[in-house]
Structure 1
Amino acid sequence: MNWKKIVVGLLLFSACSEPETVRVSLSNAEKKFLIEKPLLFGKNEQITTFYANNDFETVWQDSLNRNELISAIIDSRYDGVLPESYPLAKLIKAHWDYKNLSIPELKKADIDFSENFFKIANQLASGKVNPKKLYGDWEPYIQEFDFVSLLEKSLVEKNIHKTLEDIKPKSELYLKYKKAFAKYVPIISKDTLSAEGLMQKKIWVNFERTKWLQPDLGENYVWINLPEYRLQLVQNNQIVETHKVIVGKKERRTPVLSSSFSGIIINPKWTVPPTILKKDLVPKATANRGYFESNRLTIYDKKTGKQVDPENWNPENYGSYRYVQQTGRLNSLGQIKFDFPNKHMVYLHDTNNRAMFGVANRALSSGCVRVENPFGLAETIFKLEGKNILRSEMDTLAHYEKTKNFKLNQKVNVHQVYFTAVIDSTGSVKILNDIYALDNRLYKRLIQ
């Protein structure tokens, strides 16, 4: 990081703080100027709304407010922000020369201060990068703030710095990674090949990811860290169970999302999802119609609901059919399935190939998460839901291959997350394999 510029900025910043008696004698500090609407053309909605609310007048006359914004941008380096990506030199110069600015320069500076307030506010609250746009299959939690109202209130109360401090995430996870960031990333380096450079990159990208998580994970929740191939069941902030999991392969990766369990199905039937249908079933069944029988799959016509004989199946019109696998141990979902609402059509389930839990690299599924000892997990979730469902009842249903759907009240949350650097309670950092190769793209965006 170019600390020389920051130090110069700090010196200018400290030098330009003037007593109130001096400030009020300056003509620019006493007057408001009308900002013509063409000056706001091309600006984002926050800027145009803000100035419309303020009668299109300048608002940054007070030196303290300008001081505090500049100070907050400089201090943001402790929150994984790159101050050099902000026009600090321009803001500091406008602040220092404020009394001598021409009216056109003053209007432009006013817009610059407002724009950079919104920029730093958004970045501190939700991160620099929108993972939905970067990755597509990532469902971030975006904190809802009325930044326009916050800026208006902060300017009046002269507490810009405090306002920006208050909107930062406050979760334990965020604070844990913030502490690691301060320890391992004192100076930003583009060297990611050395052990030190790799550690910096991993800490920074994962610190950014903490800003995309909802602050309240819930009283009871399942935490699935995909690169760790591990599921943890957390009750009242205590890990009560740990299970191995199998996650999506790189080309069919498991999405990152948060939801809550809505049901547990014993002996579920499996309806082949679109991706597997197109990439697996159609090519294999086209080559050999015996694929349906060997995989215990029944074909149904979507329009009529009637069963279709494999010999009458038309692969060119494969989308007009529904493909259902019968229940039992050989079912692709195994003998138990955990449902939670999401738009990716993924869920947590058992598997008919339990030997794969012994493999080190368990990015093997088509997108859903397979869990080891799923009946033990279900038993605990039922208890947390306050449901008196005994393990013996589940075992009996499984044995006789009887399907039963137990509805849940969504009292247990589920968080599928992606952290390639895991920090334990002592502050030690464990680096994990970046199974979906997501870190480099994010790191390049963060250091821009």
Structure 2
Amino acid sequence: MLRSSNSITRIFQIWAVLFFIVYGCSISQHAKTTIETEPNVIAEPHSGTVKKIAWPLTEIKDSLHIFFSNKNNLKSTAPYQENLSLWYANTNYQPLWQNAEQVEAGIRFLQNAANNGLNPSHYKVDSINLLFQQIQTDSLIELKNRVKLELELSLQVKRYARHLYLGKLNPKNYHSSWNYQKKNWNTKEKFVLQLIQKHETEAIEELLAPAYDGYQLLKQKLITYRQNYSASSKPESLNYPGKPIKLGATGNAVSDLKQRIGLKDTESLYLFDSTLLVAVKTFQKSHGLTPDGVAGPATYQFLNWTTQRYIEAIMVNMERLRWLPDSLPATRIEINLPAFELVMKENQEEVFRNKIIIGTPKHFSPVFQSRLDVLVFNPCWTIPQSIATKKLLPKIQKDPSYLQTHNMFAAIDEVPITTDSIDFSKFNESYFPYKIYQNSGPDNALGVVKFLFDNPYHIYLHDTPQKHLFNADNRAFSHGCIRVKNPLQLAHLLLHTQKTNYSTKEYYLSKKYPVKIPLNTPVPIYIQYLTASANPNNNSVYFFNDVYGLDLRVLIDLEKP
């Protein structure tokens, strides 16, 4: 009789817990806290003494079994049933968090989201921590709170783990051209569950965070900036003095520059000396500027960045790195648009780094991956119709000899047409039936070589006769294609990667007509958009101008729960 009475009592308790979960208030209502975690402040883990209270694992297990067996389709329970039913079915409804130490490990895992550029409050870490403390002190409501804690902690750990691996945001919302290989969350999710079951929650981050060295360097830099952050010590804006400041200059502007760049204990505060010259060059190099030691408008723009601005830039770009595949091929080309830079790696070793020119904000260069599979020496330029009608047609109408003097010709269906027989005054942007081509030659807009890779945007790499444009810091000048400063060196390296012996680039150039060279082994190419990146070779972090104005959109969306 006594055993029967105990069983009835236990069943009653389980159904009471189930009623609480299904019809009770959400965790934010039951355990609401007024603590707000600033995006630039790392939440401190719960540091109280863990009470050695026995956890009613059997009762929690039975409650979980009933909960997931009851498909009630209520809005309040849907997130748990949709996201956790397979987890608990795989564990036979055994609780994942079986004692206080494991709960604290889960809470610390969520709190560490700050170090990965994510906001711990988006994973209800304060509410979970508060509920955990209530459980430790209030035995009267212990069972129902333990079940609620079990579900909420599991749900938020899974959410954060997914965001840490895949990224919180969808890259296609910012780059419609995004086609990078998708990562397999299903496989990683199984490992996450196994680590929790093995009481190794702290190992989840190592499993899921991007394995790129650059990600870890950004993470370390983020922690450093946050340690030095003070909301009350925002520096005043440093006004540009109206002209560049360089070696030998004197005055208050030099003094202000020295103090902003961190040189306060110098012999002459008002003289632009060699010490300041080195400091300015180092600062410029770390911000993607030409390290000439002359403090101009671009240098002052970055000098006015606050600590918070650096923190936000790192957060945004850590998210972008989470969008990338688990790894990239050992031999590849990487292009970072904001850095105006191309890097080629062969067997993971950097063999080429070069300046590039990219599309203007109006005609931006898209972000995507492809395989570079064709080189064309002495290319003939097929001029895009938009350029032909908007830029060339007015010039042709003004000067009928324009095409001949610029080594160009008109054609229909690739058949050249004698321009003397064409009355160009009859045509406009809306109606122009011809294609314009520019023959191979030193003045060809594509230079002496172009590099082709499959994409629907007609984007490719190429040479340019306008070499002076590479002297600019902001090199967004093209209609979308990417110009390379030293393309022949890149062509040589690409031919070198092939198993088949090719003739030299000099041989192909000597032909004076277009020579198309397919590559037997295409080289993967990745066009990226990173306004903060790290170089593992020198353990340095670099910041770049947000040339297409995308950072703020990503930051705003990251700050949404």
Normalising TM by the smaller chain, what interval?
Answer: 0.7 to 0.9
Distance 1:128 1:353, change over 3 A: same
Q: Quick one: which of 208, 223, 235 aligns to 1:167?
A: 208
For 1:187 and 1:112, the matched residues in 2 are separated by 33
Q: Quick one: which of 394, 401, 409 aligns to 2:520?
A: 409
Q: CA contact under 8 A between 2:341 and 2:355: conserved in structure 1?
A: yes
Distance 1:49 1:206, change over 3 A: closer
Distance 1:430 1:159, change over 3 A: closer
Alignment of 1:189-268 (within 5 A): 193-268=304-379
Alignment pair present for 1:129 and 2:176: no
Distance 1:90 1:277, change over 3 A: farther
For 2:497 and 2:532, the matched residues in 1 are separated by 30
Equivalent in the alignment of 2:97: 62
Alignment pair present for 1:71 and 2:131: no
Alignment pair present for 1:375 and 2:488: yes
Alignment pair present for 1:434 and 2:546: yes
Query: 1:115-161, CA deviations, whole angstroms, 9 ceiling, x for partnerless residues?
Result: 32332012211333333213434555542221554455445444444
Alignment-mate amino acid for residue 441 of structure 2: G
SS of residue matched to 1:355: helix
For 1:83 and 1:198, the matched residues in 2 are separated by 19
Q: CA contact under 8 A between 2:336 and 2:528: conserved in structure 1?
A: yes
Alignment pair present for 1:33 and 2:66: yes
Per the TM alignment, residue 407 of structure 1 is displaced from its structure 2 partner at its CA by 1.1
State TM-score, norm by structure 2: 0.66
For 1:42 and 1:328, the matched residues in 2 are separated by 69
Greater CA deviation, 366-375 or 127-136?
127-136
For 1:116 and 1:363, the matched residues in 2 are separated by 42
Q: Please report the RMSD computed on the Cα atoms of aligned residues, expressed in angstroms.
A: 4.0
Distance 1:60 1:96, change over 3 A: farther
Q: Quick one: which of 35, 47, 56 aligns to 1:11?
A: 47
For 1:322 and 1:49, the matched residues in 2 are separated by 56
Alignment of 1:287-326 (within 5 A): 296=407, 298-299=409-410, 301=412, 310-311=422-423, 315=428, 318=431, 322-326=435-439
Per the TM alignment, residue 336 of structure 1 is displaced from its structure 2 partner at its CA by 0.9
Alignment-mate amino acid for residue 335 of structure 2: I
| Number of aligned positions between the proteins | 437
For 2:74 and 2:191, the matched residues in 1 are separated by 23
Q: CA contact under 8 A between 1:289 and 1:311: conserved in structure 2?
A: no
Greater CA deviation, 230-239 or 289-298?
289-298
For 2:427 and 2:357, the matched residues in 1 are separated by 33
Alignment pair present for 1:352 and 2:352: no
Equivalent in the alignment of 1:48: 82
Greater CA deviation, 412-421 or 182-191?
182-191
Per the TM alignment, residue 295 of structure 1 is displaced from its structure 2 partner at its CA by 5.4
State TM-score, norm by structure 1: 0.80
Alignment pair present for 1:82 and 2:119: yes
SS of residue matched to 1:51: helix
Per the TM alignment, residue 194 of structure 1 is displaced from its structure 2 partner at its CA by 4.7
SS of residue matched to 1:10: coil
Q: CA contact under 8 A between 1:125 and 1:168: conserved in structure 2?
A: yes
Per the TM alignment, residue 347 of structure 1 is displaced from its structure 2 partner at its CA by 1.3
Q: CA contact under 8 A between 1:379 and 1:390: conserved in structure 2?
A: no
Alignment pair present for 1:184 and 2:201: no
SS of residue matched to 1:163: helix
For 1:108 and 1:284, the matched residues in 2 are separated by 73
Distance 1:388 1:188, change over 3 A: same
Greater CA deviation, 429-438 or 320-329?
320-329
For 1:273 and 1:124, the matched residues in 2 are separated by 42
For 2:122 and 2:228, the matched residues in 1 are separated by 15
For 1:390 and 1:215, the matched residues in 2 are separated by 36
Q: CA contact under 8 A between 1:300 and 1:322: conserved in structure 2?
A: yes
For 1:155 and 1:401, the matched residues in 2 are separated by 66
Alignment-mate amino acid for residue 552 of structure 2: N
Q: CA contact under 8 A between 1:132 and 1:140: conserved in structure 2?
A: no
Per the TM alignment, residue 55 of structure 1 is displaced from its structure 2 partner at its CA by 5.9
SS of residue matched to 2:227: coil
Alignment-mate amino acid for residue 23 of structure 1: W
Query: 1:74-108, CA deviations, whole angstroms, 9 ceiling, x for partnerless residues?
Result: 122222222122211222244455672676x7776
Q: CA contact under 8 A between 1:337 and 1:350: conserved in structure 2?
A: yes
Per the TM alignment, residue 349 of structure 1 is displaced from its structure 2 partner at its CA by 0.7
SS of residue matched to 1:264: strand
For 1:87 and 1:124, the matched residues in 2 are separated by 16
For 2:165 and 2:432, the matched residues in 1 are separated by 43
Per the TM alignment, residue 436 of structure 1 is displaced from its structure 2 partner at its CA by 2.3
Distance 1:42 1:384, change over 3 A: farther
Distance 1:447 1:328, change over 3 A: same
Query: 1:288-327, CA deviations, whole angstroms, 9 ceiling, x for partnerless residues?
Result: 877665655555556xx66667548865765976554433
Query: 1:185-204, CA deviations, whole angstroms, 9 ceiling, x for partnerless residues?
Result: 33767769554334333333
Q: CA contact under 8 A between 1:259 and 1:414: conserved in structure 2?
A: yes
Q: CA contact under 8 A between 1:203 and 1:421: conserved in structure 2?
A: yes
Equivalent in the alignment of 1:337: 450
Gaps of 5+ in 1: none
Per the TM alignment, residue 251 of structure 1 is displaced from its structure 2 partner at its CA by 1.7
SS of residue matched to 2:494: helix
For 2:179 and 2:47, the matched residues in 1 are separated by 42
Q: Quick one: which of 55, 59, 65 aligns to 1:23?
A: 55
For 2:227 and 2:178, the matched residues in 1 are separated by 29
Q: CA contact under 8 A between 1:49 and 1:148: conserved in structure 2?
A: no
